[in-house]
Amino acid sequence: MVTRDADPDSEARLQILYSTLRELKSARDAIRPLLEIIENRVELFQKECNPSTLKLRFSNLPDDILQRIFEVGSTLDKYGGRFSVLVSHVCRRFRDVAFRTPRIWAFIHDSQPLDQISTFLRRSKAVDICVLVGYRGPRRRTDIEPFMNIVTQHSDRWFAFGCHVGDGEDEDMQRSLACLELILPNLTILAHSQELFEEPPGLGLFSSWVMPRLSEFHGSDITLQPSMLGENVTSCELDFDGSKDDDDYRTWNFTHVLHALKTACALSELIFR
pTM of the model: 0.72
Q: Which of 71, 104, 137 is the last residue of a domain?
A: 104
Alpha carbons 262 and 234: distance in angstroms, whole number: 13
Residue 85, in any domain of the structure: yes
The domain total for the chain is 2
Residue 159, in any domain of the structure: yes
Question: For the purposes of burial, counting CB atoms within 10 Å of the CB of 170, is it exposed (0-12), middle (13-18) or buried (19 or more)?
Answer: buried
Same domain as 187, residue 98? no
Same domain as 115, residue 88? no
Same domain as 240, residue 171? yes
pLDDT at 247 exceeding the cut of 70? no
Residue 259, in any domain of the structure: yes
Same domain as 237, residue 224? yes
Span 15-68, pLDDT tens digits: 888 889 898 898 888 888 888 888 888 888 888 887 777 777 777 889 999 999
Averaged pLDDT, 10-18: 84
Q: Which of 104, 121, 140 is the last residue of a domain?
A: 104
Residue 16, in any domain of the structure: no
More confident residue, 136 or 180: 180
DSSP β-bridge partners for residue 190: 161, 217
